[in-house]
Amino acid sequence: MLSSNETKSPKITNQTALVTFCSLLAISKQFYIFSLAITIITLSFGLIASWWIGSLLCVIGCLIGFGIGLINKYYALRIEFDKKLFEYLAINVDLLPNKLIELDEALQQLNLINTNQFPTRSIIERQKGTIKLLKKQIFWFILQILLLVGILISGMIRFG
């Protein structure tokens, strides 16, 4: 009889799985583009509000929206970087264990990770980490949209 560990899905990654994962990460760019548009709208609305409307609360909300846009940009850059690394690993999937070690060495040389604290991670652990980044980007994106909608509604209520 199989133990519970043997019935779980295998931790082997193939090229198709990595390419599919990279395709999933590509949606991050769409979130970023929309977030950039919201950031520009929010900043423009904040400038108009400060000169024309004179609402300090609206200006503060717009500055917060701009800051959230910057956070979203950070996550978009991190995810794009990870996407490029996973694309490289997909091309070299036959040498995956060696490439993961080389990748960690390269990241350590660039001071992007500290391998003394983090041993070499499996490809699955790396994918989970990147998915966490994508979820954070989506969270900040939704927060930015809600903030913009709130600012617009408060502006309509105030001057409607």
Q: What is the pLDDT of residue 150?
A: 84
Residue 52 lies in a domain: yes
CA distance 153 to 160: 10
Amino acid type, 63: L
Supply 60's token pair: 């503060």
Q: Which domain holds residue 99?
A: 26-159
If phi over 0 gives left and psi between -120 and 50 gives alpha, with beta otherwise, what is residue 101? alpha
Residue 3 lies in a domain: no
Residue 12 lies in a domain: no
Spatial contact of 158 and 55, defined as CB atoms under 8 Å apart = yes
Residue 107 lies in a domain: yes
Q: What is the pLDDT of residue 137?
A: 96
**Mind listing the pLDDT tens digit of every residue in the chain (160 residues)?**
333 343 343 455 788 888 889 988 998 989 999 999 988 888 887 777 666 666 777 778 888 988 999 999 999 999 999 999 999 999 988 888 889 888 888 888 888 887 676 667 889 999 999 999 999 999 999 999 998 888 778 766 666 5
Number of domains in the chain: 1
Residue 13 lies in a domain: no
Residue 6 lies in a domain: no
Residue 14 lies in a domain: no
pTM of the predicted model as reported, rounded to 2 decimal places: 0.80
Residue 49 CB coordination number (10 Å): 20
